[in-house]
Chains A and B, each alone.
Chain A
Amino acid sequence: MSLLGVAPLHFDRVRLPIGISFFTFHALSYVIDVYRRKWTAARNPCDVALYILFLSAVDRRADPALERHRATTRQTHYYPRGLCGRGPAVFGRVGEENDCRQCGGGPADQIFALSGAELTPVLAWFGTLCYTGADLFDFSGYSDMAVGLGKMFGFQFLETSTSRISPNPLRSSGAAGTSPCRAGSGIISTSAGRQPVFREAELREPRCWSSSCAACGTARAGLSDLGAVSRESSWCSSRTRFGSAAPGAAVASAAARLHFVAGDGGVGAVPGREFFPGSGFPAEHGRLEHCAALGPTIRTLCEPTGALVNRSGTGFFDAVLAVGERSGGGESDRPLPAWLQIAVQASGLVLETVVLVTLLLVSAAGWPEALTTPSFTSGFSANEPPLNPRENPRGQAWLVTVVFLVFDMAADGGLGLSP
């Protein structure tokens, strides 16, 4: 440019705000979810602010989507936490202060800084391993911390990668391999013929329901909307959950089941507006095509039972829970035996601990002589631990271990910290 006679630009360096990627995308997720009608725009700016800023990116890795895709959190526990690849689904490195990285990042950086002459194959592989470990614990560690922290305050954060194994509403409703309109598919068939219990509230839009039945012929095409409908219904649960921490717990678990029931065939999805009066559920969600999307199930419910309304006064959530229990939730929701769950969790925890402690010890306690070169050890002497705790890898490492495990257990509800 100087050749062209253009003076160099003078420009104060822009500092990178910590976590800007996080809260930018988080804010975007809010607007985009409004656009997709997963929820309506919050009237209270504080709600938005808390959604975007909760503990300032408490969750730098996972998506605090407030459980909107997931029916229950049970599936989480089938896998060793932290090792099931939940972290890698989320990118976005934040700041330079990721302590978890130090577990393996320190040695990795040192090894990668070596010149080609100094680098032995063993060392190179070891560095790669360390880097892998650093990444794993970076992502996974923060995810666990975030989930655990969220639970402490009564929020359930969505775990990105586990959401992929949640039951697919379309697949489960079509699993029978029959016409969706045929009686016996959907919820009724799995509830072993028992009559579902519903309250009158669900039928406050008779036009909507009856037209769904009539629209059964078009229902198959409308099925593609089922996913959207179930998401909209879970908007209610997210609203409930996010709006109130402690008292929301019972409601939230029930609402989670509501979502499941909705996902499994749609009952209770569309009339969400009726169930949550004043919640601002957008009117257009009650439109006919959405109801038509629920046609098959509604029809199945209409035909074999003949009566949807039970005026016995059973609470809505009781009713939904009852159906949810009976329907069994499809194959992917079947809980493992308790002992197996505990065993899997424990093995995951042990495995994590072993890997973590190994990496920490290796990085903190110095190196096996065979692996080291003089230039390599110079910056990282175990004989003279630095006094500054931030530079004391060993102390830092153990602290990180303890924190990691505590939050990991909290995330599992193992400490009873969740309300």
Chain B
Amino acid sequence: MVFSSPIFLFVFLPLVLAFTALPGLKLRNFLLLLFSLLFYAWGEVVFVFLMLGSTVVNYYLGLWVDRETEPARRRWAVGVAVALNIGTLAFFKYANFAVDNFNAV
């Protein structure tokens, strides 16, 4: 879904605004999260799981970094986080490129 698409502007956005504006709503953030996932899943259902997985991993990485008090260990933890995230990104961005080049050579 794109912001400038009619479905977002005239269906999705009003719906989300209406839902989240309900008074006394305890789960506002959770609802927003669900709608966000729907928003993303509109185009790519499969990758929603990738995003959720990334979120879960980073949630625990955050807890880990937070728990460590020793600077060296904190750096190690945040290093793991950077490596994991950038690794994922690099895979999706450059796997094709790498294989193509390998085969071309």
A contact set with B: CB distance below 8 Å: 1, 8-9, 11, 13-14, 16-21, 23-25, 27-28, 30-32, 34-35, 40-42, 45-50, 52-58, 97, 99-100, 142, 145, 149, 152-153, 242-246, 282, 284, 396, 399-400, 403-404, 407
Contact = CB atoms under 8 A, between A and B. Distances in A.
Contacts, number: 159
B54 A27 contact: yes
Contacts of A54: 32-33, 36
Interface of B: 2-4, 6, 9, 13, 16-17, 20-21, 28-30, 32-33, 35-37, 39-40, 43-44, 47, 50-52, 54-56, 58-59, 61-63, 65-67, 69, 74-75, 77-78, 81-82, 85-86, 88-89, 91-93, 95-96, 99, 102-103, 105
A246 to B, nearest CB: 8
16 contacts: A17-B51, A21-B93, A23-B51, A24-B85, A25-B85, A28-B85, A35-B74, A41-B59, A41-B67, A47-B29, A49-B52, A50-B33, A97-B2, A284-B69, A399-B6, A407-B3
B66 to A, nearest CB: 4
Nearest to B35: A55
A42 B29 CA distance: 14
A41 B36 contact: no
Contacts of B99: 9, 11
Contacts of A396: 4
B48 to A, nearest CB: 9
* Most chain B CB neighbours (cut-off 10 Å) among A55, A152, A400: A55
Nearest to A97: B2
Contacts of B75: 35
B39 A16 contact: no
